[in-house]
Amino acid sequence: MSKQTVRDLDVKGKKVLVRVDFNVPQAKDGEVADDRRIRAALPTLNDILGRGGSLILVSHLGRPTGDPAKDEPFRLNKVAEKLSELIGKPVKKVNDTVGPEAEAAAKQLAPGGILVLENVRFNKGEKKGDVEFAKKLAGLADAYVNDAFGTCHRDEASMVAVPEQFPTGHRAIGFLVEKELQILDTLLANPKSPYVAVMGGAKVSDKILVIENLLKKVDKLLVGGAMTYTFLRAQGHSVGNSRVEADKLDVAKHVLELAGPKLVLPVDHLIADKPAAGAETKVVDGPTIPEGWFGMDIGPKTIELYSQVIKDAGTVVWNGPMGMFEVEAFAKGTKAVAQAMADSSAVTAVGGGESAEAVEKFGLAEKVSHVSTGGGAFLESLEGKSFNSLKVIPERG
């Protein structure tokens, strides 16, 4: 069964409350540094506008503290400006989420109009899942659409309590969430083989549940990033000054035993005398890193090996960079994985966070099957978890 989507709603002349994920990276001056999440919401927003509806948009931004001065950078003014630029229509922004200003603006909203409410986390009722707050927010609109996959794993008011205030026939997911669920279904329920997972990043402990769940399904698990050195240390190898989760060696041993030959570790490494730009670097073969050196990226033999495995795959899911890709000298491994996925004829999914940032940086985001907008939500989905925010959206009849 599939969830009711925005296309199932009659939106003509209706005000639609859309929970979007406009939690975008910001530059020091508060400008939007990366508008990918705003662009990802445009198909849903344009669909509602094109069918005669109006938009009331709800999002969070950053982690407000409750201190007005400190929270000033988290106002959605710049986000509303960027949305107006991208959607090509005027956007009205108000300075509260619920209250007189929001109510007045919502009441005056004509078909085709766009209203952005203030950062929903400025109201304490959001994090608490407060029902009274949810009733006020829901009272602004006629229907509700969840198009914020990046927040689907949260039980916050705008994700769960707000849609519960609408009749079931007036709740739906947007196109962005629909696409995320479709790709997750492919990855978890119906992957084409060979099925390859590529896991990078710093910590084995952050990925343990994902790895355990994926090992039941994948044919190969290619490992990169700093987590490599925790696995190598767990095997008894010396890894020099490389980053290791010393208190998680038992977890790494458990994963190695569970995975057997499915888990593939780098066969060579790019190492550096310091984990920073301008470092002296060299490549070493085998599992040992010399004392005083840091493992910073997968080496050229590993790049060739991983690229071939990805090329021959039917399905590939990737989460976590192969090295410190923000520094050019340590970016080759991550770039090569991104390129291999772009060149592959497999279903290729990039799982949010730094991996998504990397494919954007290397100009390859449009050449993979899917780039998730949700880091935590994507990982928790791969762990096999279900979300209350989606349980409150009815299945299609």
| 328 has binding-site annotation | no
Q: Say whether 37 is catalytic.
A: yes
Q: Which amino acid makes up residue 203? A: K
Could you report the per-residue pLDDT of 202-213, keeping only the tens digit for each? 888 888 888 998
> Do 6-175 and 182-382 fold alike per CATH?
yes
Q: Model confidence over 126-135: pLDDT tens digits? A: 999 999 999 9
| 37 annotated among ligand-binding-site residues | yes
Is 243 among the annotated ligand-binding positions?
A: no
Count CB-CB contacts under 10 A for residue 140.
Answer: 21
Indicate the pTM of the whole model. Answer: 0.87
Q: Is the dihedral of CA 52, 393, 1, 196 positive or negative?
A: positive
Strands 294-298 and 268-272: antiparallel
For the chain, the structural domain boundaries read: 6-175, 182-382
370 is in an annotated binding site: no
- What letter does residue 3 receive in the DSSP assignment? B
For position 334, what pLDDT does the model report?
97
Mark the ranges of the chain whose per-residue pLDDT is less than 50.
none
**CATH (residue range 6-175):** 3.40.50.1260
The reported pLDDT for the residue numbered 200 is 93
Q: Which position among 14, 39, 135, 203 bears the catalytic label?
A: 203
Portion of the chain with pLDDT greater than 90, in percent = 84
Averaged pLDDT score across all residues of the chain = 94
Choosing from 37, 82, 93, 335, the catalytic residue is 37
Exposed e or buried b per residue across 93-130, where buried means at least 16 C-beta atoms within 10 angstroms of its C-beta:
bbeebbeeebeebbeebeeebbbbbbbbbbbebbeebb
**203 a catalytic residue:** yes
Annotated binding residue 232: no
Among the listed residues 113, 129, 323, 353, the single catalytic one is 353
182-382: CATH architecture: 3-Layer(aba) Sandwich (3.40)
